[in-house]
A and B are shown apart, each in its own frame.
Chain A
Amino acid sequence: MERERDTDTSRRGPDEVVLRVEDLHKRYGREEVLKGVSFEVRRGETKVIVGPSGTGKSTLLRCITRLTEPDRGRIWLGDVEVTGRGVDLNRVRASVGFVFQDFNLFTHLTALDNVRIGLLKVKKLPKDEATEIARKQLEHVGLAHKADAYPAELSGGQQQRVAIARALAMEPKLILFDEPTSALDPELTGEVLDVMVALAKEGMTMVVVSHEIGFARAAADELIFMEGGVIVEQGPPDQLFRQPKYPRTAEFLRKITALYGETG
């Protein structure tokens, strides 16, 4: 524990800590949604967070770049303390991708412009360079041929893949996925999960809130089980499935396995 608290974040390489969350608390009115959550993500790792709804998983993700302001606790991205004073939040956010449950593509922009807008307006890249990157990322998610389509002209799965391309284009250090397939018809989840599995294999650092057990088994280095605003248990997916420490973990994993099966 002491060694882990050591804040030598200048380390690079596979052991580099990309994200560190320490004792995070968040309260909405009377209800405490997060009651002291701590975890670390190293470069190239994929962590999947599961847990019953209303457990604070989405709140946790939003607190990481302070889209939701945490009440207490500290967050580091690399050696930048996100919760520190005077931190340039827009810069922090530009380095962390966020993929939403409802995609949240910009309705008035084509797929290409959705992917390009952050490069143009946030990173201030010249137009041709931004366009090149955007086209490459659309190709990456298999949607180069939909560059000129508006979100309303795309299926849910396609929209989510554009959203992933939009996140990738910013060359993030980390991508946060908030239930990326929950709003999709079952036959469309596969195409999104395939993209995500490929990303994990390519070495992208990812934190994924999802009940897709198949994805967790295929891509997660670690599974985090959250309930009631705390992390109950975390470890490699196999270990959590085979020999969980707590009966509550076993019970929950059994339930979602029955619901979401072994797809993906």
Chain B
Amino acid sequence: MFLQATLINLGLLAGLIILGLVVGIPIALLQVYGVRPLRWLASAWEGFFRGVPALVLLFLFFFGPAQFGVQLSAFTAAILALGFRSSGYQSQIFRGAIQSIPRGQMLAARSMGMSRLQAIRYVVLPQALRLAIPAWSNEFSSVIKDTTLAYAIGVNEVLRQVRYIADRYYELAMPAYLTVALIFLVLTYGGNWLLGRLERRWALPGFPMRGAEERIERGREIAAEAAR
């Protein structure tokens, strides 16, 4: 029973974090490179979704569209509400990473005839995404647990199941809550372990990432080997 419910949480997580990513990166790019009206729009989006409580967003997305005759399922509403919310937070992670790339990189790309979009795609983003991983793993750890908030609009996720048990069988309440705690501990730890592996795999000399130094070391060893 918990397993099935946990899968719903994982489904919510996948939906919301991907939505947050594909919306968050463009928001960050607009804030850094956009013309003024678009920059304002991006900042308004980011401000709204970071400024409104998650539960309020859930209610707005669940009950709001119904007012206009559009009935979203609780699951969809939860992904939209939490995903857009995450896009606000993720946009700031990516904005920081983009702005930490030295200006000379963009300048060099433009000087060889790349359009701004090409420079962003081939030069800025590949570097910024690497630098964003540590902060992004923070966002991941945060939103994975936020999926339990969806119980408030009736999504059959794991916390709702536990509440169901706890309300009925008082003596099982503590073990049930502890089980949920354990489930999320394991999921968060596992996710961060995967992200750590990604960080190492993407590590390059010259980037302040886990594994970058080892790569330089390994490169030196290979070079020394070859010299012999």
Show the binding face of A for B, using Cβ within 8 Å. Answer: 65, 67, 90-98, 100, 102, 104-108, 117-118, 121-122, 149-153, 166-167, 170
Q: Which of A91, A102, A150 contacts B205 (CB 8 A)?
A: A150
Query: Does A65 lie within 8 Å of B112, measured CB to CB?
Result: no
Query: Does A117 lie within 8 Å of B111, measured CB to CB?
Result: no
Q: What residues of chain B lie closer than 8 Å to A102, measured between beta carbons? A: 102, 104
Q: What residues of chain A lie closer than 8 Å to B102, measured between beta carbons? A: 102, 104
Q: What residues of chain A lie closer than 8 Å to B105, measured between beta carbons? A: 104, 106-107
How many Å from the CB of B126 to the closest CB on chain A?
5
Query: Does B113 lie within 8 Å of A152, measured CB to CB?
Result: no
B123, CB-defined interface residue at 8 Å: yes
Docked Cα-Cα span, A166 to B108, in Å, equals: 10
Q: What residues of chain B lie closer than 8 Å to A104, measured between beta carbons? A: 102, 104-105, 107-108
Report the 9 A-B pairs with minimum CB-CB distance, sorted nearest first: A152-B206, A94-B113, A104-B108, A104-B104, A98-B111, A152-B205, A93-B113, A118-B112, A150-B205
Query: Does B110 lie within 8 Å of A67, measured CB to CB?
Result: yes
Docked Cα-Cα span, A107 to B100, in Å, equals: 13
Residue of B nearest to A113 (CB): B122
How many Å from the CB of B103 to the closest CB on chain A?
9
Q: What residues of chain A lie closer than 8 Å to B193, measured between beta carbons? A: none
Give chain B's interface secondary structure class.
helix
How many Å from the CB of A78 to the closest CB on chain B?
16
Sampled A-B contacts (13; CB under 8 Å): A65-B111, A92-B113, A93-B110, A95-B113, A98-B108, A100-B108, A102-B102, A104-B102, A107-B204, A107-B207, A121-B118, A150-B205, A152-B206
Q: Assuming the A-B contacts A100-B107, A102-B104, A104-B104, are A122 and B207 also in contact, with contact meaning beta carbons closer than 8 angstroms in the complex?
A: no
Docked Cα-Cα span, A152 to B206, in Å, equals: 5
B176, CB-defined interface residue at 8 Å: no
Residue of B nearest to A169 (CB): B112
B219, CB-defined interface residue at 8 Å: yes
Q: What residues of chain B lie closer than 8 Å to A90, measured between beta carbons? A: 113-115
Q: What residues of chain B lie closer than 8 Å to A93, measured between beta carbons? A: 110-113
Q: Which of A94, A117, A149, A166 contacts B122 (CB 8 A)?
A: A117
Query: Does B108 lie within 8 Å of A106, measured CB to CB?
Result: yes
Residue of A nearest to B216 (CB): A153
Docked Cα-Cα span, A117 to B118, in Å, equals: 11
Docked Cα-Cα span, A92 to B114, in Å, equals: 11
Residue of A nearest to B103 (CB): A104
Can you list, as one digit per residue, whether each of B106-139 has a CB less than 8 Å from chain A (1) or not (0)? Answer: 0111111111001000110011001000000000
Query: Does B219 lie within 8 Å of A149, measured CB to CB?
Result: yes
Query: Does A98 lie within 8 Å of B206, measured CB to CB?
Result: no
The size class of the interface chain B forms with chain A is 20 to 34
Docked Cα-Cα span, A153 to B205, in Å, equals: 7
Docked Cα-Cα span, A97 to B130, in Å, equals: 29
Query: Does B112 lie within 8 Å of A108, measured CB to CB?
Result: no
Query: Does A153 lie within 8 Å of B127, measured CB to CB?
Result: no
Q: Assuming the A-B contacts A106-B123, A108-B126, are A150 and B113 also in contact, with contact meaning beta carbons closer than 8 angstroms in the complex?
A: no
Known interface pairs A98-B108, A106-B127; 10 further A-B residue pairs with C-beta atoms within 8 A, sorted by A's residue number: A91-B113, A100-B108, A104-B107, A105-B108, A107-B206, A108-B126, A118-B113, A121-B114, A150-B204, A153-B219
Docked Cα-Cα span, A83 to B133, in Å, equals: 42
Q: What residues of chain A lie closer than 8 Å to B216, measured between beta carbons? A: 152-153
How many Å from the CB of A137 to the closest CB on chain B?
13
Q: Assuming the A-B contacts A102-B104, A107-B204, are A122 and B219 also in contact, with contact meaning beta carbons closer than 8 angstroms in the complex?
A: no
How many Å from the CB of A99 to the closest CB on chain B?
9
Q: What residues of chain A lie closer than 8 Å to B207, measured between beta carbons? A: 107-108
Q: What residues of chain A lie closer than 8 Å to B104, measured between beta carbons? A: 100, 102, 104
Q: What residues of chain A lie closer than 8 Å to B113, measured between beta carbons? A: 90-95, 118, 122, 170
Q: What residues of chain A lie closer than 8 Å to B115, measured between beta carbons? A: 90
Docked Cα-Cα span, A122 to B113, in Å, equals: 6
Q: What residues of chain A lie closer than 8 Å to B112, measured between beta carbons? A: 93-94, 97-98, 117-118, 122, 166-167, 170
